[in-house]
């Protein structure tokens, strides 16, 4: 680890800092349903799951505006470059995300089972956890419509 690593990440792994209960979607979600999920600006990546396994990931740019909304979203998803193992050092994952200009990676085991979602905070110095996600959800539900 370098001296520039944020103190909260030193000696920690991705498995220590991931969101353990991310929102997931079924593999048969349509393009329009996926777009509806992205209407929430806190949703950056959809995890397409079947029987506990990650089958694909979607980000907004995977679904261009001219794409037929009634079709399945799965063919437009990908895994390459969007997953990371839980045993990777957290600082290594942070640097990987920064180098790629990303803020989200799905966390999977060797068999492809979904373990969680790695979410780089906006300050780019640490990761959101389940408590952060729950606090934001509580804030949104408390706000008047």
pLDDT tens track for 9-51? 889 999 999 999 998 999 999 999 999 999 988 889 999 999 9
Where is average pLDDT lowest: 60-69, 76-85, 112-121, 130-139?
Answer: 130-139
**CATH (domain of 33):** 3.10.580.10
- 118 in any annotated domain: yes
Annotate 18-72 with DSSP letters as a single string.
SBSS---EETT-BHHHHHHHHTSTT---EEEEETTEEEEEE-GGGS-TTS-TTSB
Q: What is the C-alpha separation between 87 and 95, in angstroms, rounded?
A: 15
Q: What is the C-alpha separation between 49 and 72, in angstroms, rounded?
A: 14
Q: Which residues pair with 50 in a beta bridge?
A: 53
**CB-CB neighbours of 96 under 10 Å:** 16
pLDDT tens digits along 68-83: 999 999 999 999 999 9
Kindly state the DSSP code that residue 131 receives in the 8-state scheme: H
- 138 in any annotated domain: yes
Domains in the chain: how many in total?
1
- CA distance to 25, 51, 137, per residue, from 77 (Å): 12, 17, 26
* H helix or E strand, kind and range, residue 114: strand 114-119
- 29 in any annotated domain: yes
pTM for the complete prediction?
Answer: 0.86
Q: What is the C-alpha separation between 68 and 21, in angstroms, rounded?
A: 30
- 5 in any annotated domain: no
- 78 in any annotated domain: yes
- 135 in any annotated domain: yes
Q: Indicate if the pLDDT at residue 2 is higher than 60.
A: no
């Amino acid at each position: 680890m370098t001296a520039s690593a944020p103190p909260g990440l030193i000696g920690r792994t991705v498995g220590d800092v991931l969101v353990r209960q991310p929102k997931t979607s079924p593999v048969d979600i349509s393009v329009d349903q996926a777009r509806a999920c992205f209407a929430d600006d806190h949703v950056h990546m959809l995890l397409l799951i079947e029987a506990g396994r990650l089958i694909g990931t979607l980000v907004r740019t995977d679904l261009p505006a001219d794409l037929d909304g009634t079709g399945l979203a799965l063919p437009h998803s990908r895994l390459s470059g969007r997953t990371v193992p839980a045993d990777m050092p957290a600082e290594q994952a942070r640097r990987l995300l920064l180098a790629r200009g990303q803020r989200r990676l799905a966390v999977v085991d060797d068999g492809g089972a979904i373990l969680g979602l790695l979410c780089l905070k906006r300050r780019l110095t640490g990761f959101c956890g389940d408590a952060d996600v729950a606090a934001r959800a509580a804030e949104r539900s408390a706000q008047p419509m």
